[in-house]
Amino acid sequence: MEKLVQYNKEAFIRMLRRQGIRDESVLKAMATVPREKFVGINLLEFAYDDSPLPIEEGQTISQPYIVALMTGALMLKPGDRVLEVGTGSGYAAAVLAEIAAEVYTIERHQSLAHQASVRLKELKYNNVHVLCGDGTLGWPENAPYDGIVVAAGGPEAPRSLIEQLTVGGRLVIPIGPSTREQTLLRITRINNNEVEFEELGAVRFVPLIGEEGWREIEEEIKPKLKTVSIAKPAPLSDLIEKSAIHIPSIDTVDLSGLMKRIGDARVVLLGEATHGTAEFYDMRARITKELIQHKGFRFVAVEADWPDAAQIDHFVRETRMEPTEEPTFARFPTWMWANMQVLEFVKWLRNYNKQFSSPDKAVGFFGLDLYSLYSSINSVINYLEEVDPELAAIARKRYGCLTPWEADPATYGAVALTGKHKGCEQEVVEMLNTLMRKRLDYAAQDGRRFLDALSNARLVKNAEQYYRIMYEGSSESWNFRDQHMFDTLKNLLDFHGPGSRAVVWEHNSHIGDAAATEMGARGEINVGNLCRKHFGDDAYLIGFGTHHGTVAAASDWGAPMEIKIVRPSHPESYERLCHDSGLNAFMLPLVDQKQRVVKELLRPRLERAIGVIYRPETEVASHYFNASLPLQFNEYIWFDETRAVDALGPEAGIGMPETFPFGL
């Protein structure tokens, strides 16, 4: 755990540098303060993520970037005295204490003030002094201050705080006409009668309550776990209800309108708000069938490992009747693709492909992901054993570098990062380059088999690098993985020819445009973002959502699958707006930004994302993020109540044929 925290901290500082934090004293302070000590035990894994986290009394521990930005804006020197308004967990006070000589911090909630005081003393921050009181009035007994920072948004800068600044002192505070619209200001006291204002950007904070702030009795400023700008739900929900296209059932819904909206798009990306909801799979299958039958789409590319998806591809094109020696979809999470919903679509696709005279003309099924390091190694070697035994021997030797880590490739990444192991980058790159040099010879023998081998070799190269950068931070590894998936998609389109068209099945977080979410603020990209940049209007992005029901998910990575209850959506989320429309299922086009409903939905709101892990006990921190739905997707598909996928295999308790899908 200590090593992982250290890796996270290093990535944490790199992330702050990328976001423009340049003050070395601030970066040093952020690296020194143990943020994990200021969050609840159930949120430890998120301690070094760049996001606010909930604490008691409906408050938050601020996003690290904001703490660094505001601390830097104070322009502190080692001997300075600082006042902080809004102690919260005490984290920002500890950061300030690493730079300034004395820190005075005020918290209006008695319980938070007490907890922060105890925590700061335990961590030996003896230069921090905590007071429970009205922060808008400051702490005049210890004034003047060289810097004052306010971690809550007020209607204007409190006069008491300005008066407690030294001449030349700086007040950093979010202010705005309402608790939903705030601008971060730096106010510098020029002399006893003059101040200078500088705008530092738009922000969102909990309201500044007090005599010179907002009044607690005002309805609009009740504290929230996570503040977002929202329109009043009732009229916007009515707009959604009037603009939406009702889905009476997945089997009977008329998709002709959707097909017109998709038009000549070359890539259609179909999302999901969870990795374990039956309706999402069934609706994606229904749309995909229409695209294949009426628009000539050539293949389906999914968020699955290449070797596993290759077995499905063999099955649907009937290019190999015997099962593989390795079980298909055996890696966690098996239920994501080994489920009855996928099986029904795969059987349909196999039957559809019977009309083609050649397997090369049939519709294919491919995996875009890169976790299958060792399955891909075996696939490359097996291919070379048949076409080039001498090169197969070389491949065994080169890939042998990775053999000791087969059971736990993540450990390989950790060891390589420490420098105690030289890493295997050179070997896997050489293997890919060798295959590339021989591509003309091999492709002439069997183009599709060579595509499979080359894709596996490319996957091994990228997976090796992925596991090495896992500990360099979530943004780096996320970006690398999605870039790999996009590159694989592009290679498939190139292989199938200039007129080929693809359907992509992935999670909303991969196919929705990252630039329209808080992912973009963290410097993250995704497949949807890359498709829009590369294909423009020829990429059509469709997101999915739900309000409540059940979902197949685990509590931790590698843990058993459970059927979990999906909590009703957050009151300030897009999902709640859709639920309040009263429709059980619908399609909502989002392309026309002149349309009133689209205009109203543009302002960022919370959106839910459940992956293979679902933790309802920390749902806001674990599963919600800010996004602008119309900028994220071209269309949104809604199912109010949903149910878990019908998993196959041991986890489902019904048994999965070892030769899935060949044994069916």
Active site residue 62: yes
CB 460 within 8 A of CB 406: no
What is the spatial distance between Cα 610 and Cα 597, in angstroms, rounded to a whole number?
Answer: 26
Number of other CB atoms surrounding residue 1 within 10 Å: 7
DSSP-derived secondary structure for 600-632: HH-S-EEEE---SB--GGGHHHHHEEEE-HHHH
Residue 459's Cα: distance from chain center in Å? 22
Please choose, from the candidates 145, 151, 188, the residue with its C-alpha nearest in 3D space to the C-alpha of residue 164: 145
Q: Which residues contact 193 (CB under 8 A, 6 or more apart)?
A: none
Quick one: which of 135, 124, 102, 99 has its CA closest to 24? 99
Residues, the chain, total? 664
Which residue in 25, 51, 62, 111 is the catalytic one?
Answer: 62
Residue 397 in contact with residue 447, Cβ under 8 Å?
Answer: no
How big is the CA angle at 443 (ends 428 and 372), to the nearest 5 degrees? 40
The enclosing H or E element of 158 equals none
What is the gyration radius of the CA atoms in the chain, in angstroms? 27
* Distances in whole angstroms, Cα of residue 89 to Cα of each of 52, 152, 573: 12, 14, 26
User: Cα angle at 393 between 487 and 659, to 5 degrees?
Assistant: 65
3-state secondary structure of 592: coil
What token pair was written down for 332? 């966690």
Q: Give yes or no for a contact between 471 and 413, defined as CB atoms under 8 angstroms apart.
A: yes
| Residue of 585, 594, 546 whose CA lies nearest to 241 | 585
Residue matched to tokens 């808080």: 518
Write down the residue that tokens 């809550």 correspond to. Answer: 152
350 secondary structure, DSSP code:
H
Catalytic residues: 62
